[in-house]
């Protein structure tokens, strides 16, 4: 069976949906959603926590990166996302060169052991 290819816009829509589901407690992890809302009752603080600690993404080109940032992070005029983990990296050449783990650590130093 051939692997399903996903469009970048489809991937961005899935990412936005996941964030919305986490924020609205629509996942089958109700206790986690309740605990996040207890820990971060303010919508702005909660979304900033989600984007800084729970959502990671790579974009293969600068154009896709900018579209992703505008689409995923630009959902509200009232809430500014202060820190996010969307990064620019074309992972295919990185994987082919066997440098993917090192490249991820450069982008996300907190992942280092």
- What are the pLDDT digits (tens) for 69-103? 888 888 778 888 899 999 999 999 999 999 999 99
Q: Is 46 exposed, middle or buried (0-12, 13-18, 19+ CB in 10 A)?
A: middle
User: What mean pLDDT do residues 55-59 have?
Assistant: 89
CB atoms within 10 A of CB 21: 14
pTM of the model: 0.66
Of the ranges 30-34, 43-47, 68-72, 76-80, which one carries the lowest mean pLDDT score? 30-34
Torsion angle defined by CA atoms of residues 75, 63, 12 and 107, in that order, rounded to the nearest 10 degrees: -100
């Amino acid at each position: 069976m051939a692997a399903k290819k996903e469009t970048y816009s489809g991937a961005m829509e899935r990412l936005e949906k996941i964030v919305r589901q986490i924020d609205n407690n629509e996942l089958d992890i109700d206790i986690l959603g309740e605990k996040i809302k207890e820990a971060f009752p303010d919508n702005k603080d909660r979304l900033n926590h989600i984007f800084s600690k729970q959502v990671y993404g790579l974009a293969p080109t600068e154009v896709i990166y900018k579209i992703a940032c505008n689409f995923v992070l630009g959902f509200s005029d009232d809430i500014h996302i202060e820190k996010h983990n969307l990064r620019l990296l074309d992972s295919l050449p990185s994987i082919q060169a066997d440098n993917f783990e090192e490249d991820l650590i450069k982008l996300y130093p907190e992942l280092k052991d």
